[in-house]
Amino acid sequence: MSQKTSEELRQEVSKRRTFAIISHPDAGKTTLTEKLLLYGGAIHIAGSVKARKAARHATSDWMEIEKQRGISVTSSVMQFQYEGKQVNILDTPGHQDFSEDTYRTLTAADSAVMLIDVAKGVEAQTIKLFQVCSKRGIPIFTFINKLDREGQNPFELLEEIERVLGIRSVPMNWPIGMGRELCGVYDRMKNQVELFQGKDHTSIEVRKTEDYNDPIIREMAGDFLADQLAQDLELLDVAGDSFDYEKVRTGQLTPVFFGSAVNNFGVQTFLENFLELAPQPTERKSTEGMVEPEEEKFSGYIFKIQANMNPAHRDRIAFLRICSGKFQRGMSVRHVRVGKEIKLSQPQQFLAQDRDIVEIAYPGDIIGLFDPGIFRIGDSLSESRDIVFDELPTFSPEIFSKVSIKNALKQKQYLKGLDQLTEEGMVQVFRSVGAFEDTYLGVVGQLQFEVFEYRMKNEYGVDIQLFRTQFQFARWIVGDKVDPSKFRINSILVKDKNNVDVALFENEYAMRTAMDRMPDLQFLEVAP
């Protein structure tokens, strides 16, 4: 590689910030995303993302389910530029029901923004998503939203973050008042006050101060709020964590920002600080060791496959996260799993539902590849070596249904659908062993069943029946002799799609008992 090319690659990598926003529904993710995109000039009119969310419901076909439930099943990627940085926001579905897609998408992010509603604190979905990010050790930034409403005391919120999530926090700014009394925030890093101006909070006044005891604050916010601010910040100085970049980088300390997305308050400060502190794409683990983003040869992996994002195109899109090298349209790469060269000729980038053809892309970017059915989730593509990225965790399903078809004549279509949708990672499939072969589907979120049923009907013309079972745990079994007769009470022995033995258990007791009785076998939470 010429020096010029490697310098270009190094620069492009250093510009990239790829992150996901994790939150519980209604915390304001759509609103915050939209404000961020507005700063980046990616959209021009406030309300576009929301409108897109609505338009998506109107135009998409199988996503009828979204409309029915008022939720977003798909996740897409939004890209914008801000002050020389190339920002990629991975949109994770914000519905209550999880799907594995949500988890997998998080593996493509280099950092996460955790959005918390000031009144509600740390909610269920936030916890689950946080845990996935935390396991990867990526930096997590916190934005506490809806400060214009009465909420919990900021100290209590920080305490809750630490208690529930087990991460230390460092407030980067601090609210001056809250709810109707909110008049602004104090930026602890820059030592400045940022105050709302006007009744409708349309503009913001920024004033530099010596410190939080500066008389300017008193002048601007009044005695009561100035006293409270000084007291709070003194306490933080004494008892709070101090900023430590190394701890932020390794996900042990979360920088906390307060603001109100809908009022556009605190969003710009957040964005600027975030872009400064968030990491550029870093090395990724592979079978051939660590792969640096600056490596000359292109490589990446597929973390998600989506069918029919646009009903006009009855195709599938494979989402690929670039890990190293420069992507150029039309380039040939090795599809490592099948051991073939393929040409990447129709790559797309996403801004919500729009499709643009990508000519060039760099590590940290996400591209959508047209998929005629050759890709599987977790596939690695590489320009030079047979490397396989070890990025995608598999999740143990928690809900299981028995599946059957209503019309036996549709068996062929049924098997095709089952095969393709399993490959897409929509559901996990298990087959019982013995005289009667039952098929079970396992998922992490109920919604996956609904989407599966809908797509089976709409894409494969097959009506299926799902019977919810009592099983709650799946354990992959490693060992020599597995005796099916030992799995009769509150459990069953099945095979996964690779013919590996899996035991399904109805409760923890049954699982523990089986493990105690069969000490020679290993029971794994996910496929070996």
- Contacts with ligand G4P by CB under 6 A: the residue count is 17
432 annotated as ligand-binding: no
Q: Can you tell me the distance from the alpha carbon of 365 to that of 320, in angstroms, rounded to the nearest whole number?
A: 8
User: By CB under 6 A, is residue 26 in contact with ligand G4P?
Assistant: yes
Under the binding rule (CB under 6 A), the answer on residue 308 touching ligand G4P is: no
Binding string, 52-91, against ligand G4P, x = CB under 6 A?
----------------------------------------
519 is in an annotated binding site: no
What backbone phi and psi angles, to 5 degrees, belong to 513? -60, -45
C-beta of 57 vs 285, nearer to ligand G4P: 57
**Count, residues in the chain:** 528
Residue 29 sits in the site that holds ligand G4P (CB under 6 A): yes
Is 30 annotated in some ligand binding site? yes
Q: Which stretch binds ligand G4P (CB under 6 A): 19-27, 97-105, 275-283, 517-525?
A: 19-27
Residues paired with 78 in a beta bridge: 89
Q: Is 25 a residue that touches ligand G4P (CB under 6 A)?
A: yes
Binding flag, residue 173, ligand G4P (CB under 6 A): no
Strand partners, 396: none
Residue 286, both tokens: 């592979």
Q: Nearer to ligand G4P by C-beta: 180 or 517?
A: 180
Q: Using CB under 6 A, pick the residue from 40, 94, 281, 364 that binds ligand G4P.
A: 94
Backbone angles phi, psi at 408, to 5 degrees: -60, -20
Does 120 help bind ligand G4P (rule: CB under 6 A)?
no
Pairing between β-strand 299-307 and β-strand 428-432 as defined by DSSP bridges: unpaired
Which of positions 242-301 make contact with ligand G4P (CB under 6 A)? 260-263
The answer to whether the beta carbons of residues 449 and 456 sit under 8 Å apart is no
Q: How far is the CB of 192 from ligand G4P (least distance, A)?
A: 21
* Least distance CB 53 / ligand G4P (angstroms): 8
Q: Determine the number of helices (DSSP H) and then strands (DSSP E) in the chain.
A: 14, 31
176 binding ligand G4P? (CB under 6 A): no
User: Which residue stretch of 26-34, 358-366, 444-452, 479-487 sits at the interface with ligand G4P (rule: CB under 6 A)?
Assistant: 26-34
250 annotated ligand-binding residue: no
Q: Backbone dihedral region of 114: left (phi > 0), alpha (psi from -120 to 50 degrees) or beta?
A: beta
Between residues 23 and 308, which has the closer beta carbon with respect to ligand G4P? 23
| DSSP 8-state symbol, 242 | P
The answer to whether residue 23 forms part of the interface with ligand G4P (CB under 6 A) is yes
> Per CB under 6 A, does 93 bind ligand G4P?
no
Give the shortest CB-520-to-ligand G4P separation in angstroms.
48
Q: Is 201 annotated as a binding residue?
A: no
Would you say the C-alpha torsion 94, 262, 32, 121 has a positive or negative sign? negative
Q: Known binder of ligand: residue 146?
A: yes
412: left (phi over 0), alpha (psi -120 to 50) or beta: alpha
Cα–Cα dist 424/120, whole Å = 35
Question: What is the Cα–Cα distance from 177 to 224, expressed in whole angstroms?
Answer: 9
Cα separation, 458 vs 478, in Å, equals 38
Q: How far apart are CA 275 and CA 238, in angstroms?
A: 28
> Would the annotation count 151 as a binding residue?
no
Is 44 a known ligand-binding residue?
Answer: no
The rounded distance, in Å, linking the Cα atoms of 79 and 90 is: 9
Q: What DSSP assignment string belongs to 95-159?
A: SSS--HHHHHHHHT-SEEEEEEETTTBS-HHHHHHHHHHHHHT--EEEEEE-TTS----HHHHHH
Work out which of 20, 27, 233, 514 binds ligand G4P, going by CB under 6 A: 27
- Which tokens belong to 203? 């503009």
Residue type, 265: F
Q: How far is the CB of 260 from ligand G4P (least distance, A)?
A: 3
> Which residues, numbered 136-165, are part of the site for ligand G4P (CB under 6 A)?
145-146, 148-149
For 162, other C-beta atoms within 10 Å of its C-beta total 15
Name the segment binding ligand G4P (CB under 6 A); options: 20-28, 248-256, 364-372, 432-440. Answer: 20-28
Binding residue ranges:
23-30, 91-95, 145-148
Binding residue ranges for GTP:
23-30, 91-95, 145-148
Q: Which residues bind ligand G4P (CB under 6 A)?
A: 23, 25-31, 94, 145-146, 148-149, 260-263
